[in-house]
Each structure stands twice: as C-alpha cells, then as structure tokens.
A = this chain, B = another copy of it.
Amino acid sequence: MAKYAKIPEATVRRLSNYLKCLEDLEQKGEKVASSALIALICNVNAAQVRKDFAYFGEFGIRGMGYSVNELRYHIREILGTNREWRIAVVGIGNLGSALLMYKDFLKQSYKIVAAFDQEPVKVIGHISEQIGKPIEILHIDRLKEVVKARNVEIGLITTPPPEAQKVANLFVEANVKGIMNFAPTQIRVPSHVVLRNVFFTAALDNLVYHLSN
C-alpha cells in the first residue's frame, strides 16, 4: 500500500488483462516477454505497455524484455490479489450458481466462503456444488452473523433487482469492504464501501452501438 507511485486509473484497468496474458505465457513455459509481444496479445500499443510497467519500477532488460515471473508477481502485488479474499454470494439462482463454480476465481485466490438465498430449501436441498467441495446455502436472515464469523470482505449480489438494495444494506451492516452488484439496478452504499456494477445490458448496448455506427 503506497509502496508504488500513484498508478493512473487507466493503467489499473489494464493490469488484470496483462496478468491473464502473463499467466498464459508462463503456462507455455515462456520466461521472458517483450512489450511488443504483450501488446500484441492484449491488443494495446507497445509504448503503452512499457509506460504502464514503468509505474512499478524499472526492471525490464534492454534488448531482451521482461521477466514473466517477476512481472506477474508485481502486478499481483499492486492489484492486491497476492492474498486470499473471502467472498459471499447472495441469490443462488443460475447466475449465483455460475459464480460458485467459476474456476477462474481460484487463480486469483478468490474464495467463496458463504452462499445465501431467500429460500435455501428450494435450492438443490440446501447444498450447492462449488469447485471442489459443496457449499451449504444458508437463509439470508443469517447473513450478518455468518459474514462476520467467516471474515467475508467482499459481497456479490445476484438476486433479482427488487432485493438488491436490501441485500446491499445487510452486507454494509456486516462490514464488508466491497460489493459487486450483478442485479440490473442501481444501488446505494455508504462512501466507505467500494461498489462495482456488472451490467450485462450495458455491455450489449455498447456492442450494439459499435455494430450500428
């Protein structure tokens, strides 16, 4: 924290992509990658890549490129994904179930440690599959208690829109630090809680704009 110079928001948004790219390169056994290669894979300008990496130190090797391993390490450190983050999901419909089984979360040490629903009995007999081990679906009434007991820091909302604000309030009362809202409705949280929305329709609208123009 504050270990690196202030990193521009635009750079932060690209970091996650670089990371995925580096993981792929590492899997292929590549030890070193040039800014040109990374730029090609991530679909950005090579100078951009170098400038982004320069924000967290000067450790490329001229004439060679960057150490894949070292880069990966630094990016994870900056993002804060170099440690486990404990997550709870509310609303175990299709989308909630998809997130419980989302394998990509494991790579970044995201761990779903609690799942809630309004009618847990209806949800596959209280138990839902999770990657590796099953997870018990609890009634939403127990959210505050369980979120605190299990040290949950991030809440995911995958309920229908009418319930989203209520669930957000419960998460706030339970002292989560961040909320990701997948319900297609705007919710309000106090300014000390970080809120991010994932609106599928917005993504489609943007796609359609570029198809139409």
In the assembled complex, the Cα of A177 lies from the Cα of B194 at a distance in Å of 36
Q: Assuming the A-B contacts A16-B202, A201-B16, are A207 and B184 also in contact, with contact meaning beta carbons closer than 8 angstroms in the complex?
A: no
Identify which of A92-100, A133-141, A166-174 touches chain B. Answer: A92-100
Chain B residues, CB < 8 A from A208: 79-81, 85, 154, 178
**Min CB distance, A162 to chain B, in Å?**
11
Asked if B19 and A205 make an inter-chain contact with CB atoms under 8 angstroms apart, the answer reads yes
Given contacts A205-B108, A206-B12, A79 and B212 within 8 Å (CB-CB): yes
Is A198 part of the contact surface with B, judged by Cβ < 8 Å? yes
**Max count, chain B CB within 10 A of own CB: residue among A107, A177, A207:** A207
Q: Which one of B1, B17, B161 contacts A212 once the chains associate, using CB atoms below 8 Å? A: B1
Q: Tell me how far the C-beta of A51 lies from the nearest C-beta in chain B, rounded to whole angstroms.
A: 18
A194 nearest CB across to chain B (Å):
5
Give A204 Cβ to nearest chain B Cβ, in Å.
6
Residue pair A21, B104 in contact (C-beta under 8 Å) = no
- Interfacial residues, chain A to chain B (CB-CB below 8 A): 1-2, 12-13, 15-17, 19-21, 24, 41, 78-81, 85, 93-95, 97-99, 101-102, 104-105, 107-108, 110, 153-154, 161, 177-178, 180, 184, 186, 194, 196, 198-213
Chain B nearest Cβ from A188, distance in angstroms:
10
CB contacts (< 8 Å) of A161 on chain B: these are 104
* Contact, CB under 8 Å: A21 / B186: yes
Residue of B nearest to A87 (CB): B204
Residues A213 and B95 in contact, CB atoms below 8 Å apart: no
**A201 (CB) vs chain B CBs: closest residue:** B104
Q: Specify which chain B residues have a CB less than 8 angstroms from the CB of A213 in the assembled complex.
A: 1-2, 80
Contact of A211 among B99, B177, B207 (CB under 8 A): B177
Given A177-B211, A186-B41, A211-B178, A201:B108 Cβ within 8 A: yes
**A196 partner, pick from B1, B41, B206, beta carbons under 8 A:** B206
Are A209's CB and B79's CB within 8 A? Answer: yes
Q: Can you give 30 contacting A-B residue pairs, CB < 8 Å?
A: A1-B213, A12-B206, A15-B209, A16-B201, A17-B202, A20-B186, A20-B201, A20-B202, A21-B186, A24-B186, A79-B205, A79-B212, A80-B208, A80-B211, A81-B205, A81-B208, A85-B208, A94-B98, A104-B201, A105-B200, A108-B201, A110-B201, A110-B204, A154-B204, A178-B208, A178-B210, A180-B204, A194-B210, A194-B211, A198-B203
